[in-house]
Chains A and B, each alone.
Chain A
């Protein structure tokens, strides 16, 4: 290994050139791969049996392990491995998309948030499912099944659902002699009466989730829908610049103006809102079913244990409209053993498994009959209002570019709520924006 000085420059230069050539050819190769695709066929054959993976955010109670173990003991040749994703929904989606981008078969069954269905279907990242192979669909709440469809074709099976509930301070309402409200006006009147009580003087009337994130889209849509408006109509066209929508938005905007909604609520996600309610600083609170168990804790962490109850959300002229949450299970287009994957989805969405799931995790099932189950109703007293909430709930827009749509909605709503944009302008800007986003 002797080195001559004269060769040095050339050697360095050659190394540099060599690596560049390598790089360029590597890029060329990548190009062929990506542009020459089109292998994804639309739905149909679910073939192949064998081991699969299930990509999901970690389950909360450890119950998923039991569910999967139950499957695995019945299907030793078709074992399911859980691929745990981060807790953050954004990161779950990002991981699934990354794997779809490289056409990886690492994930077989995907646990999709309801709002991702359209995007995953349109990109052919998930396989279309033949409806006749899923006979139980008719026994699920219809609104939940609707979230699993894109352009009237089925791409997933709803396994859990979620709907907004109105939590209220039963003790204070009783003391003030008012009934749980069905309309916003009734709620305001109830607040006035409750706030006349000495112990409720410093309380705020109402809060939902108004931080600039997905929760704001949910709350804004509920306000608009609750006033009889729509964000995106049934025909798939945005129609948010209407008097009804304005009345809905004004319910929130005026709430902030008059102080019925506390100022801090502009930073609320689910958890800070729950805290405010548990600390006893809210009379009414819009949140998901999960709050029930936590606010009922008698270990001193909740000041309102036993003092609250739930009702369906109020609206402008009658009962309000919740925005639908929940999760659907779908099969990755790039998965192997899709027949097994389909069976696993049927297994997980079965009545028996869903019952086991709600018992352990208190997640809302999609199976309609479970809401009538007496023992479950005893364990979860909010099931009846929850069912009402889910049955009448509206889906968020089913559009491919859902991310852009929800960002636009948040932008408009946040501007109006924080007082930087007049509500009317916010809605007309939103209408313009949505029109360009959704015609694509």
Chain B
């Protein structure tokens, strides 16, 4: 810590003279990590691009290129397009609500002093400790009593409850790292606590907020069991449920190719969207923040 106590000086870190391995080792590390992440995904894409009859093939490049798997995914009657839209609605709503509710709760927990605080934190995380498969039947009973079966909220609210604990805990950790003097300074300048939170804290915690958003979105986007159990009408089913319904051309053969194609279709836009948003949001927030 003694190091960090020193007064900051401006030093050009990057231009520092370094031996060759200091330059190349990180790059090799990057290469290995990227390969590790992408090779299985590559296999997924390649498998999707084979002809359905070639799905067992192990060739590194498809011997016969084919988009049949992709066209099968969007064939009339699969409801995959509608499924994507439903996934977007559910995951989008979950993300927004989780962020709003979670940020308020996290800020409260990070900044306000009150009794039962740790109790509340413990309760919140407790809900992440029960095996999800054991919650489905009671939940289905509950939702069928309040007539929520075949509604969006039947998928949104459970996902919300699975996403909130992580969001609250994570954001609490981030907000707590923000120096308290920031809000105090802002309030001296005439901000209300709410304004101080919005204009000072959130921009500074942007990386944490944004990461929470991505993680929440992906978790909600990937949710399967609840979406499968709470909805039995085609028009509400999410993309994952639709994927699980794919079949081969004849009963027992596994539609591996079209499942992989669907996986690709579901994943790539997600990654691109995250990239675009990341740039814009982080840039926007940090620009507007107090520096």
Give every chain B residue within 8 A of A84 (Cβ-Cβ): 234, 245
Q: Is the CB of A102 within 8 A of B141?
A: yes
A106 at the interface (CB under 8 A from B): yes
Give every chain A residue within 8 A of B249 (Cβ-Cβ): 60-61, 293-294
Q: Is the CB of A301 within 8 A of B53?
A: yes
Task: Give 1 or 0 for each of A356-380: 1 = CB within 8 Å of chain B CB.
Answer: 0000011100000000000000000
Count A-side interface residues using an 8 Å CB cutoff.
Answer: 47
Which residues of A252-301 are within 8 A (CB) of B? 270-271, 274-275, 278-279, 288, 290, 293-294, 297, 299-301
A59-B247, A88-B244, A107-B232 as given contacts; A290 in contact with B137, CB under 8 Å: no
Q: Is the CB of B115 within 8 A of A9?
A: yes
Which residues of A50-95 are within 8 A (CB) of B? 53, 55, 57-62, 65, 83-88, 91, 95
Which residues of B149-200 are within 8 A (CB) of A? 149
Least CB distance, A299 to chain B, in whole angstroms: 6
Least CB distance, B279 to chain A, in whole angstroms: 38
B248 at the interface (CB under 8 A from A): yes
Q: Is the CB of A87 within 8 A of B255?
A: yes
Closest to B141 in A: A102
A30-B141, A88-B244 as given contacts; A290 in contact with B229, CB under 8 Å: no
Least CB distance, A89 to chain B, in whole angstroms: 10
A65-B77, A102-B144 as given contacts; A288 in contact with B53, CB under 8 Å: no
**Partner among B136, B250, B254 whose Cβ is within 8 Å of the Cβ of A293:** B250
Which residues of A163-217 are within 8 A (CB) of B? none
Give every chain B residue within 8 A of A58 (Cβ-Cβ): 245-247
A98-B140, A274-B253 as given contacts; A83 in contact with B248, CB under 8 Å: no
Question: Between A and B, how many residue pairs show CB distances below 8 Å?
Answer: 102
Closest to B63 in A: A300
B280 at the interface (CB under 8 A from A): no
A8 at the interface (CB under 8 A from B): yes
A302 at the interface (CB under 8 A from B): yes
Give every chain B residue within 8 A of A278 (Cβ-Cβ): 56
Give the distance in Å from the alpha carbon of A150 to the alpha carbon of B261 in the complex.
Answer: 42
A interface, CB within 8 angstroms of B: 8-9, 12, 26, 30, 53, 55, 57-62, 65, 83-88, 91, 95, 98-99, 101-102, 104, 106-107, 270-271, 274-275, 278-279, 288, 290, 293-294, 297, 299-302, 361-363
Q: List 14 A-B contacts (CB under 8 A).
A: A8-B114, A30-B141, A60-B249, A62-B77, A87-B245, A87-B246, A91-B228, A101-B137, A275-B56, A288-B251, A288-B252, A293-B250, A302-B53, A363-B250
Complex A-B, nearest 9 residue pairs according to Cβ-Cβ distance, in ascending order = A301-B53, A86-B244, A290-B250, A275-B56, A58-B245, A60-B247, A102-B144, A290-B252, A83-B232
